[in-house]
Amino acid sequence: MARIPDPNYDRDINRLVDAYKRGILAIATELSRLDVSDISRAHAKAALAEIAAILRDINAESAAWVAEYVPKAATDGVARAIVGLGVANTLAEAEKIVKFNRINREMVASAIADTQADLLAVTQNIDRRVRQAVRQATAESFRANMASGINGRRTINADTLAGIRKTLGQATDTGIIDAAGRRWKPEVYVDTVTRTKLNSAHRDATINEAIGRETYYAQISSHGARDACRNWEGRIVKLVPDAPGDYPYVGDLPRREIFHPRCRHVLSPVRSPENIRGGI
């Protein structure tokens, strides 16, 4: 069997992460242009409109990226299965004959929707924080101006201005909180979400293709992992719970140990697990 290189989406993911970084920087720049000594409602509104346009661009780029790369990862997963099962000799040859079966079509559609929703939450979060910060900064600036009038001083003190700038500055740096309550920088979150989703689309596509070809076992890839995954490298798993033999079912594997977020391990289908070293 041809040695199949593990998929690597680093460059594609970096391109998407860069789009978020650029967008966040553009938003921070937009906020820093506000004259904190006198933020008018009109200025605040204009800045928010610019920011909304930046977020729309990020969303459009991100949705298109997901619609391209989730199917690509699934295609790679199917191609790996086809080569692993000897239906094609090389990945290039396999890629030409890849066709999603029904389960894979559904899997890809739902993986696209899930990933887009996760990424949309990032920009929605930024949008909410920025609006809140601008509202707060506008109110603080207004109050400071009132107070300076009352005091007979014409300028707002430096600490107050620094405080308003800080309010605006924090809007883009606080990040997103996930379901488990962990706080992420937006770009790190985007990187983790996309890496995790592409790899799971790849594995699911391999599994679905293998089952479609009446193959019910697979071997976990090896790349010399140092985390808990290392204990699983080269191991044989069942792709359906009822397949005969004393192998763990892929759906029951402990997620803390293997196929965790950012996990790069993939599967190669195996027709007869007893012929493979690495089985239990």
- Which amino acid does the sequence have at 264? R
Give Cα separations from 38 to 27, 42, 58, 110, 152 (angstroms).
Answer: 19, 11, 30, 48, 17
Asked whether 54 and 26 are in contact (CB, 8 A), the reply is: yes
- Rule CB under 5 A: which residues touch Zn ion? 229, 263, 265
Nearest distance, CB of residue 280 and Zn ion, angstroms: 19
**Which is nearest to 140 in space by CA: 178, 116, 117, 168?**
168
The Cα 265–Cα 263 span in angstroms is 6
Nearest distance, CB of residue 263 and Zn ion, angstroms: 3
Asked whether 203 and 6 are in contact (CB, 8 A), the reply is: no
Nearest distance, CB of residue 204 and Zn ion, angstroms: 15
The Cα 64–Cα 277 span in angstroms is 42
> Based on CB atoms, which residue is closest to Zn ion, 36 or 263?
263
Provide φ and ψ at 125, rounded to 5°: -65, -45
Nearest distance, CB of residue 184 and Zn ion, angstroms: 20
Nearest distance, CB of residue 267 and Zn ion, angstroms: 11
> Based on CB atoms, which residue is closest to Zn ion, 149 or 261?
261
> Based on CB atoms, which residue is closest to Zn ion, 129 or 265?
265
> Based on CB atoms, which residue is closest to Zn ion, 62 or 200?
200
> Based on CB atoms, which residue is closest to Zn ion, 190 or 266?
266
> Based on CB atoms, which residue is closest to Zn ion, 3 or 226?
226
Which residue's structure tokens are 């009446």? 214
Asked whether 267 and 237 are in contact (CB, 8 A), the reply is: yes
Nearest distance, CB of residue 208 and Zn ion, angstroms: 20
Show the tokens assigned to 53.
Answer: 């346009």
The Cα 71–Cα 134 span in angstroms is 39
Nearest distance, CB of residue 220 and Zn ion, angstroms: 8
Give Cα separations from 238 to 69, 249, 258 (angstroms).
Answer: 27, 5, 15
> Based on CB atoms, which residue is closest to Zn ion, 57 or 257?
257
Closest residue to Zn ion, judged by C-beta, is: 229
